[in-house]
């Protein structure tokens, strides 16, 4: 009669009838080279972290102390400039509207009312509020010449570009008369898909590819041909669409050509700051091997 025992995954078979015991051991096959490769730490200089937001895109390496911030928007030139109805400006951008003289008078009346209310009210410590007379302010302004300090900059001129697309802060400086439509591909922690211009899933993914690739080239100095030598980590919120995450993964691996990618689900801003403040540990290198 035989007896079978096991210890740590090893199978022992004892032949009780054949005199001296005979043991047969079957051990699982282990790929030690692959195991060492997974346990090896990943160089943080070969990793890129992308944190897309509704307004800004934060990107950098895990070893960077602070991430770079880029406006997460793109402006594409209209193919047919005669179709003014096809022009679209995202509602997040404040339009440049001309205020009429009647509106200016209304604003001035409201300002005077607020000023009178403040003069009649007391300060938080109970003392009387003192208001500088308007004549004294006007006399002071006539004597002083306006200056711009080192922390302020004049408003940049409006752009009339000729490129097919623009990204970053240049989007905010495009003239309203220029034949461009502006789109933010990310909204409320998810892809900004809608029925309007650039609202299809294909168009949104194309916008993300252009914005992310140009931002990596501009801020990190990594060309698109070198993406195959880097790993990418994308930060998404706690609530997400599984279908959209699949499309983002395909975008990073198939379209942009990264060697591996990892989707990091985060619900706390502090966790994002830690990703940029410390180098990536070896445990995260195992999770990023999604090839």
Instruction: Dump pLDDT digits (tens) for 15-73.
Output: 445 455 455 545 555 555 655 555 566 777 889 999 999 899 999 998 888 899 999 99
| Mean predicted confidence (pLDDT) in 188-204 | 88
Q: Which whole number is the average pLDDT over 163-170?
A: 89
Say whether 85 sits in a helix, a strand or coil.
Answer: helix
Q: Pick the more confident residue, 244 or 157.
A: 244
Say yes or no to pLDDT of 290 above 50.
no
The pairing of beta strand 231-236 with beta strand 47-52: parallel
Is the C-alpha dihedral spanning 139, 145, 146, 148 positive or negative?
negative
**Structure tokens given for 81:** 């400039």
Least confident range of 27-31, 80-84, 119-123: 27-31
Question: How far, in Å, CA of 216 to CA of 161, rounded?
Answer: 22
The answer to whether the beta carbons of residues 178 and 152 sit under 8 Å apart is no
Which pLDDT belongs to residue 266?
Answer: 78
Q: What mean pLDDT, rounded, does the chain reach?
A: 77
Question: What's the pLDDT score for residue 59?
Answer: 94
Highest mean pLDDT among 3-7, 231-235, 278-282: 231-235
Q: Which helix (H) or strand (E) holds 250?
A: helix 242-250
pLDDT confidence tier of residue 177, bands split at 50, 70 and 90: confident
Least confident of 9-13, 105-109, 121-125, 241-245: 9-13
Q: Residue 273: pLDDT above 60?
A: no
Compute φ and ψ for 113, nearest 5 degrees. Answer: -65, -45
Asked if pLDDT for residue 281 goes beyond 50, the answer is no
289 confidence band (pLDDT: 50, 70, 90): very low
Instruction: Give me the mean pLDDT over the 162-183 stretch.
Output: 86
pLDDT band at 227, cuts 50/70/90? Answer: very high
Tell me the pLDDT tens digit for each residue of 255-272: 999 999 888 887 655 555
The burial class, CB within 10 Å (0-12 / 13-18 / 19+), for 161 is middle
pLDDT, one tens digit per residue, over 30-43 is: 555 655 555 566 77
- DSSP run (H or E) holding 263: strand 260-265
Please report the pLDDT score of residue 9 as a whole number: 47
* Integer Cα distance of 77 and 170 in angstroms: 14
Residues 6 or more apart whose CB falls under 8 angstroms from that of 159 comprise: 166, 170, 173, 174, 175, 178
Residues contacting 166, CB < 8 A, separation 6+: 74, 75, 159, 174, 180
Q: What is the reported pLDDT for 148?
A: 73
Q: Which domains does the chain have, with CATH numbers?
A: 2-30 (no CATH), 38-69+218-291 (3.30.420.40)
């Amino acid at each position: 009669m035989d007896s079978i025992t096991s210890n740590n995954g090893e199978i022992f078979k004892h032949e009780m009838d054949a005199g001296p015991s005979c043991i047969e051991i079957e051990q699982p096959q282990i790929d030690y080279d692959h195991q060492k490769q997974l346990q090896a730490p990943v160089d943080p200089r070969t990793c890129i972290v992308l944190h897309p937001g509704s307004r800004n895109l934060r990107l950098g390496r895990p070893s960077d102390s602070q991430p770079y911030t880029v406006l997460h928007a793109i402006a594409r030139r209209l193919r047919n400039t005669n179709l003014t109805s096809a022009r679209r400006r995202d509602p997040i951008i404040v339009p440049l509207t001309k205020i009429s003289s009647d509106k200016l008078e209304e604003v001035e009346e409201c300002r005077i009312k607020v000023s009178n209310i403040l003069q009649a009210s007391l300060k938080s410590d109970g003392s009387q509020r003192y208001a500088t007379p308007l004549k004294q302010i006007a006399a002071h302004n006539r004597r002083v010449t306006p200056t711009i300090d080192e922390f302020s900059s004049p408003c940049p001129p409006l752009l009339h570009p000729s490129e097919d697309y623009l990204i970053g802060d240049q989007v905010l400086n495009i003239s309203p008369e220029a034949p461009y439509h502006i789109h933010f591909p990310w909204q409320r922690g998810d892809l900004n898909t809608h029925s309007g211009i650039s609202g299809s899933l294909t168009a949104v993914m194309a916008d993300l590819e252009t914005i992310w690739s140009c931002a990596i080239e501009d801020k990190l100095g990594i060309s698109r041909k070198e993406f195959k030598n880097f790993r990418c980590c994308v930060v998404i919120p706690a609530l997400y669409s599984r279908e959209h995450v699949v499309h983002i993964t395909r975008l990073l691996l198939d379209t942009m050509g990264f060697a591996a990618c990892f989707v990091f689900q985060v619900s706390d801003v502090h966790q994002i700051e830690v990703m940029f403040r410390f180098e990536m540990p070896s445990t995260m290198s195992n999770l990023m091997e999604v090839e």
